[in-house]
Amino acid sequence: MQRVLVTGAAKGIGRAVAEAFAAEGAKLVLMDVDAAGLDAVATALRGKAAAIETCVGSVASLADCSRAADLAQQSFGGLDVLSHNAGIQTYGTVETTDEALWDRTLGVNLKGAFLISKVSMAMLRASRGSVVHISSVQGVASQAGVTAYSVSKHGLIGLVRSMAVDYAPYGVRVNGIAPGSVDTPLLRNAVDAAPDPAAVYAEIDAMHPLGRMAQPSEVASAVLFLASENASFITGEVLRVDGGMRARLGGSPKKQ
């Protein structure tokens, strides 16, 4: 029975991950800044997971991360899996991104990953556990106008690889996932604010060779795999769950 800390658990990928581990009978510590959303998820999953604890807080805060880790230690005696999903999407170029937006984006998306890993690692070393960080395809490439976000996700992949090397001697595996577009509240809030949301959704679907965006449960399935014994010899890897997005080159060769 795995003991799992899930960040960003109130919605989107984090919620799907919590649901997937609950279906496996895990013991869960769920963390999010959204108290009402977190409570709703915990209520829905009670009776499915072996046990559930919640921690309202931000991964950008060392104190909040420490509270979540302490809760895992006190309630379950440690951790076997850290599933870090918390993140924010921001927009802007180098010129249009102000310092506050840069700091907030890097604080949640990159520093948050560092902090939650830092406070969890002693428990993961003790259990020879695993870490799965959610990055993005924008951690391996970039669209226009997402400078801080893209940098944060590139940095997260560097964190995955450095942690994998540092903690392999302790039996701790560290991997990442780079999703393409995923049907989450984060994405829908951004698209629905556009002048023509239907056109934007069509464009997003067309970006993926499979012709659609992912469902959160499809990303959660990849998290479960990387956290399982089926992935026991995989570490330092970043698995793209992107519907083929990064496999396709732009343009088309001239037909002969």
Classify residue 190: in a domain, yes or no: no
How far apart, in whole angstroms, are the C-alpha atoms of residue 62 and residue 54?
17
pLDDT, tens only, 104-148: 999 999 999 999 999 999 999 999 999 999 999 989 989 899 999
Classify residue 89: in a domain, yes or no: yes
What residues are labeled active site? 149
pLDDT reported for residue 187: 87
- Domain that includes residue 229, residue range: 3-179+214-238
Measured from the Cβ of residue 217, the count of other Cβ atoms closer than 10 Å reads 15
Confidence class for position 256, pLDDT limits 50, 70, 90? very low
Classify residue 192: in a domain, yes or no: no
Helix 112-127, helix 62-76: angle, nearest 10? 20
The number of residues making up the chain comes to: 256
pLDDT reported for residue 94: 96
Classify residue 66: in a domain, yes or no: yes
Classify residue 189: in a domain, yes or no: no
Under DSSP, the state recorded for 170 is: G
H-type alpha helices, 46-178:
62-76, 99-106, 112-127, 147-167
Higher pLDDT, 236 or 244: 236
How far apart, in whole angstroms, are the C-alpha atoms of residue 134 and residue 241?
10
pLDDT, tens only, 151-199: 999 999 999 999 999 999 999 999 999 999 999 988 888 888 888 888 8
User: Which residue has 């800044």 as its token pair?
Assistant: 33
**For 204, phi and psi rounded to 5 degrees?**
-60, -45
Classify residue 246: in a domain, yes or no: no
pLDDT, tens only, 195-214: 888 888 988 898 899 999 99
In what helix (H) or strand (E) does residue 42 lie, and over which residues does it extend? helix 35-45
Confidence class for position 251, pLDDT limits 50, 70, 90? low
Measured from the Cβ of residue 230, the count of other Cβ atoms closer than 10 Å reads 10
pLDDT, tens only, 12-52: 999 999 999 999 999 999 999 999 999 999 999 999 999 99
Whether residue 74 contacts residue 125, with contact meaning beta carbons closer than 8 Å, is answered with no
pLDDT reported for residue 43: 97
Please classify residue 31 by burial: count the beta carbons closer than 10 Å to its beta carbon, then call 0-12 exposed, 13-18 middle and 19+ buried. buried
pLDDT of 216 higher than 70: yes
Whether residue 150 contacts residue 138, with contact meaning beta carbons closer than 8 Å, is answered with yes
CATH code, 70: 3.40.50.720
User: Which residue has 């769920």 as its token pair?
Assistant: 30
pLDDT reported for residue 214: 93
3-class secondary structure, 84: strand
User: Which residue has 């959303």 as its token pair?
Assistant: 37
Classify residue 108: in a domain, yes or no: yes
pLDDT of 255 higher than 60: no
pLDDT, tens only, 58-82: 999 999 999 999 999 999 999 999 9
What's the structural domain count of the chain? 1
Classify residue 185: in a domain, yes or no: no
pTM equals: 0.93
